[in-house]
Copies of this chain bind each other. A is one copy, B any other.
Amino acid sequence: MSMSHSGRMDAVATTVQRYSPPTSGQEAREEPCWPALSEAPLRRDDAETLAGVLRAIADPARLQLISLIQAARGGEACVCDLVAPLGLSQPTVSHHLKVLLDAGFVTRCRRGSWAYYRLVPERLAALAQLLA
């Protein structure tokens, strides 16, 4: 409520469609405010954007990925640590991580030849607040 809450979705849309990976590491970006679900009526394009974000986590493999990354030491995990627990092929895991990345639920950080993924808890929190 302290921030402007009436911003439209356009800014969010671009953020969601392709979540720019932090080119140099950290994340220090505005967490966007979606229009609350209780603010009816929801416009069609707002609904599409919101549905896109929800669809990103409406998948068992991706939910397990979120869970695994959160539980990992240091709050980060690389792909090779996630393949076995999921029981899926490496390309498939990479694909799911990319979906989560594009939706802004995780960030990627390359170190050596490994790619470490971390959660963006504010993203989940924002979504939760929106549903409540």
Give, as a whole number of angstroms, the nearest-CB distance from A44 to chain B. 7
Give, as a whole number of angstroms, the nearest-CB distance from A100 to chain B. 13
In the assembled complex, A3 has its CB within 8 A of some CB on chain B: no
Q: Give which listed residue, B51, B125, B127, contacts A63 with CB less than 8 A.
A: B51
Interface-lining segment among A11-19, A24-32, A53-61, A106-114: A53-61
Contact B68 A47 (CB under 8 A): no
How many copies altogether?
2
State A39–B67 Cα separation when bound (angstroms). Answer: 7
SS class of chain A's interface: helix, strand, loop or mixed?
A: helix
State A73–B30 Cα separation when bound (angstroms). Answer: 36
In the assembled complex, A99 has its CB within 8 A of some CB on chain B: no
State A2–B42 Cα separation when bound (angstroms). Answer: 34
10 more A-B contacts (CB under 8 A) besides A37-B63, A40-B70, A125-B131? A37-B66, A40-B67, A42-B63, A42-B68, A51-B63, A54-B57, A55-B58, A128-B128, A128-B129, A131-B131
